[in-house]
Amino acid sequence: MSDTALLACSDVEQAAARLRGAAHRTPVLTSATADARTGARLFFKCENYQRMGAFKFRGAFNAIARFTPAQRAAGVLTFSSGNHAQAIALSARLAGIRATIIMPHDAPALKVQATREYGGEVLFYDRYTENREEIARRLATERGITLVPPYDHPDVICGQGTAAQELFEDVGPLDVLLVPLGGGGLLAGCALAASGLAPGCKVIGVEPEAGNDGQQSLRRGQIVHIGVPKTIADGAMVTHVGEHNFEVIRRRVDDIVTVSDAQLVETMKFLAERMKMVVEPTGCLGAAAALCGVLPVAGKRVGILISGGNVDLSRFAALVA
Ligand X SMILES: *Cc1c(COP(=O)(O)O)cnc(C)c1O
Using alpha carbons, list the distances in angstroms from residue 100 to 94, 139, 218, 310.
15, 10, 34, 21
- Tabulate helix, strand, coil % of the chain (nearest 5): 50, 15, 35
Closest CA to 119 of 90, 149, 79, 146: 90
What are residue 42's DSSP bridge partners?
302
303 assigned to active site: no
155 assigned to active site: no
Is residue 151 a contact point for ligand X (CB under 6 A)?
A: yes
What whole-number distance in Å separates Cα of residue 190 and Cα of residue 203? 8
Size of interface with ligand X, in residues (CB under 6 A):
22
Minimum distance, C-beta of residue 82 to ligand X, in the bound complex (Å): 6
Is residue 246 a contact point for ligand X (CB under 6 A)?
A: no
Minimum distance, C-beta of residue 284 to ligand X, in the bound complex (Å): 9
Of 68-76, 113-121, 134-142, 175-183: span binding ligand X (CB under 6 A): 175-183
Work out which of 176, 181, 289, 294 binds ligand X, going by CB under 6 A. Answer: 181
Work out which of 12, 223, 236, 264 binds ligand X, going by CB under 6 A. Answer: 236
Is residue 308 a contact point for ligand X (CB under 6 A)?
A: yes
What whole-number distance in Å separates Cα of residue 187 and Cα of residue 57? 15
10 Å CB burial of residue 300 (0-12, 13-18, 19+) is middle
The phi, psi pair for 41, rounded to 5°, reads: -110, 110
CB-closest chain residue to ligand X = 308
Binding to ligand X (CB under 6 A) within 11-40 occurs at none
Quick one: 35 or 312, whose CB is closer to ligand X? 312
Q: Which of 81, 91, 195, 217 is catalytic?
A: 81
DSSP output for 90-137: HHHHHHT--EEEEEETTS-HHHHHHHHHTTPEEEEE-TTT--HHHHHH
What are residue 102's DSSP bridge partners?
79, 123
Using alpha carbons, list the distances in angstroms from residue 53 to 35, 121, 283.
25, 20, 10
Minimum distance, C-beta of residue 298 to ligand X, in the bound complex (Å): 26
Q: How many residues are recorded in the chain?
A: 321
Quick one: 98 or 136, whose CB is closer to ligand X? 136
56 assigned to active site: yes
Is residue 252 a contact point for ligand X (CB under 6 A)?
A: no
Is residue 197 a contact point for ligand X (CB under 6 A)?
A: no
Binding mask of the shown chain, residues 101 to 140, with x at each position contacting ligand X by CB under 6 A: ----------------------------------------
Work out which of 158, 280, 284, 311 binds ligand X, going by CB under 6 A. Answer: 280
Work out which of 282, 290, 292, 302 binds ligand X, going by CB under 6 A. Answer: 282
Q: Which of 209, 307, 308, 309 is catalytic?
A: 307
Quick one: 102 or 236, whose CB is closer to ligand X? 236
213 assigned to active site: yes
CA atoms 154, 156, 157, 161: torsion sign: positive
Closest CA to 66 of 139, 157, 134: 157
81 assigned to active site: yes
DSSP output for 238-264: -SS--HHHHHHHHHH--EEEEE-HHHH
Binding to ligand X (CB under 6 A) within 53-82 occurs at 54, 56, 82
Closest CA to 248 of 293, 287, 203: 203
Of 138-146, 168-176, 184-192, 257-265: span binding ligand X (CB under 6 A): 184-192
Residues that bind ligand X (CB under 6 A): 54, 56, 82-83, 150-151, 160, 180-187, 235-236, 280, 282-283, 307-308
Residues noted as catalytic? 56, 81, 207, 211, 213, 307
